[in-house]
Amino acid sequence: AQSVAQPEDQVNVAEGNPLTVKCTYSVSGNPYLFWYVQYPNRGLQFLLKYITGDNLVKGSYGFEAEFNKSQTSFHLKKPSALVSDSALYFCAVRDSNYQLIWGAGTKLIIKP
Amino acid sequence: DVKVTQSSRYLVKRTGEKVFLECVQDMDHENMFWYRQDPGLGLRLIYFSYDVKMKEKGDIPEGYSVSREKKERFSLILESASTNQTSMYLCASSRTGVRQETQYFGPGTRLLVL
């Protein structure tokens, strides 16, 4: 079955430290992978996507994600967290019907 | 920039009422989507449309219908609202074509059914 897992409901990071939000997927064929962010009471904003090419994808707001085919993972990273990065983060993968399958979301809390 | 707007940010309705949620996008996108978002469940696809007057069921279409009479507008209809339809509703749009799967979202409508 095609699926996306975000194993952590919440991630807590001190401001200035590196952050990682985890995502693993299961999909047939080559994966198209996405990260979105949702700030409080807002819609989702696109951060970055992986389709092909370099395994390290750079996106908005200083975020990047690393595609690892052998581990079927697409973890979101940032070298130095900001308090303003506190939000809900969603990973998604395109399925064989060209629709997006969404993870349950990870709440990221950055403490000053 | 892509802009997707939704008619209401917050709605309060009573059980049994007919509810209309409107979504408009200004980037001439072919595809439009309606999701509901519930804590711990992520986004679940209700309906989508890939062209005017076309619609396809998503994962949870029961209790909902949609209408797409114009390319830029996609409406979600709750024929008879129930309390289990209390949720955040998100509209999105995207362009058709290879590498064009990025979906752009509206701000959401938080619906409370009493």
Query: Chain-centre distance of CA A106, in angstroms?
Result: 9
Interface probe with B: pick from A23, A88, A100, A101, most Cβ of B within 10 Å:
A100
Q: Does A105 contact B42 at a Cβ distance shorter than 8 Å?
A: yes
Contact of A85 with A38, CB cutoff 8 Å: no
Residue B98: predicted pLDDT:
60
Position A40 scores a pLDDT of: 85
Query: What pLDDT score does B95 carry?
Result: 87
Does B96 contact A at CB distance below 8 Å? no
Torsional sign, CA B101, A78, A20, A8: negative
Whole-number pLDDT of residue B40: 86
CB B90 within 8 A of CB A88: no
Bridge partners (DSSP) of residue A109 are A12
Token code pair at residue A73: 């993972």
pLDDT, residue B82, reads: 97
- A95 with A44: CB under 8 angstroms? no
Going from the first residue of chain A to its last (112 residues), give the mean pLDDT of each consecutive group of 10, the final group possibly shorter.
92 97 92 93 90 90 95 97 96 86 95 95
What pLDDT, on the 0 to 100 scale, is given for residue A52?
A: 83
B45 and B58 Cβ atoms separated by less than 8 Å? yes
Interface touch B42/A45, C-beta < 8 Å = no
B108–A43: do the CB atoms touch at under 8 Å? yes
Which residue, A25, A19, A54, A52, is CA-closest to A37? A19
Q: Identify the bridge partners of residue A68 per DSSP, sorted by sequence position.
A: A73
Kindly determine whether residue B105 and residue A90, on different chains, have CB atoms separated by under 8 Å.
Answer: no
Q: What is the pLDDT of residue B99?
A: 56
Is residue B53 packed enough to be buried (19+ CB in 10 Å), middle (13-18) or exposed (0-12)?
exposed
| Count of C-beta atoms within a 10 Å radius of residue B96 | 12
pLDDT (tens digit per residue) in B42-86: 899 999 999 999 999 999 999 999 999 999 999 999 999 999 999
Amino acid identity for residue A60 in this structure = S
Residues A35, A66: Cα–Cα separation, whole Å: 11
